[in-house]
Amino acid sequence: METCRKALRLRRARDRSMRRQNGYSLYIMAEVILKNLKKVYPNAESKKAKKGEPQKKGNLQITDEGVVAVQDFNLHIADKEFIVLVGPSGCGKSTTLRMIAGLEDISGGTLKIGDRVVNDLPPKDRDIAMVFQSYALYPHMTVYKNMAFGLQLRRVPKAEIDRKVRTAAQALELTAYLDRRPRALSGGQRQRVALGRAMVRDPAVFLLDEPLSNLDAKLRTEMRARIAELHRELGTTFVYVTHDQTEAMTMADRIVVMLDGKIQQADTPEQLYAHPCNVFVAGFIGTPPMNILPGRLVRRGNALDLQVLGTEVALPRRLQNHAKLSAYVDRDVLLGLRAEDLSTDPAQLNTAAPATFRVQVEMAERMGAETYLYADLQGRRVIARVPGTVSFQKDDQTVLYPNMEALHLFDPETEVCICD
């Protein structure tokens, strides 16, 4: 056993020496592969379930094994990729991150980091570094000692520790604070110390669990930019968890949207926004969320129209002969329109006879250059993003013009996208 541990230490030291460059920059093949990953928490209530009949606890499934927090999780994270796991509370994103870190046992499936299966490896042997939401700094230690502590436990030479700490501190603009204790730092500075403590380890993979949630809005914006810059400088793999879609959209190479322990869609921010695979993703990605309205597809001669809350509009030409729509003629569908695709000015639409939605204003949120207009459409709330120069009062009657070229259609039963 001792021989194996010694060989592992020698291998890790060799890997680090091969990928060290410019003091702190590193490189190693750090792809992460999650195959059929599963996490089940044993639960006493599951014993009451009839054998073979899955139940629900909240939105999570209960089986004979227990509460299924993550299931059927398949994801290939490429080397140097910045992946963001996003979803509502309880969707399993932090549990997934903790399984990658080795802080949660894996109930099923395979986890590989680089060329190694790490299911049964302890966290210290996975070549990862984790940044926590709470910073997890030692209050009695200075910034320097907080950043150096992990290296001291590994018995790294003092000169090497000093070089690593000061290089990371310079990169994070912390040099002037190395002798201070955490209580003398701002929230943003504390988070940078936590990042620095991870950096000095030269990990193959950075894991970040909602690291900005305790910061105010201005600091979050600054730290988003700094983390994205660090990713470019370090050239390594980042896996980042957040419930804030703004963080996900601005930093990620790819976003993994989760719900009830399952991946709903994994794609680039642009593709998620333009082509959501289902109603949940459509409503979760984008601010304000996509408007989802009930409709019915009907045929008028050779053309397809859409009946929406008392208004009948023609489908755009690109969808008239769509192969999937023939099965939905004379059936209910769900119509999706982004807030920016509802306009108060028909001149913005490239059509001679635009469709019209007559609405009653509920509220107008002035955001500066633009206004979020909340309105009632036949008992359904819709949100339009309009120029900030447009002024509305509660109970005003107005007309919204939908950009039908940008519509999305979903199946009302499965909520899966039919076409967009």
Which domains can be identified in the chain, with CATH numbers?
22-279 (3.40.50.300), 288-419 (2.40.50.140)
CA distances from 85 to 5, 35, 134, 149, 277 (A): 33, 16, 18, 29, 16
22 pLDDT higher than 70: no
Q: For residues 62 and 56, is the Cβ–Cβ distance under 8 A?
A: yes
What is the C-alpha separation between 305 and 191, in angstroms, rounded? 54
Average pLDDT over residues 257-269: 97
- Under 8 Å between Cβ of 128 and 272: no
Q: Edge-to-edge strands of the sheet including 331-337?
A: 311-314, 303-308, 291-300, 331-337, 408-410, 417-419
Model confidence at 58, pLDDT cuts 50, 70, 90, reads low
* Helix (H/G/I), strand (E/B), else coil: 396: coil
* Whole-number pLDDT of residue 188: 86
Q: For position 43, what pLDDT does the model report?
A: 72
Predicted confidence at residue 21, as pLDDT, reads 42
- The pLDDT, as a whole number, for residue 394 is 94
Long-range contacts of the stretch 153-160 (C-beta < 8 A, 24+): none
What percent of the chain clears pLDDT 70, i.e. is strictly above it?
88
Q: What pTM was estimated for this model as a whole? A: 0.85
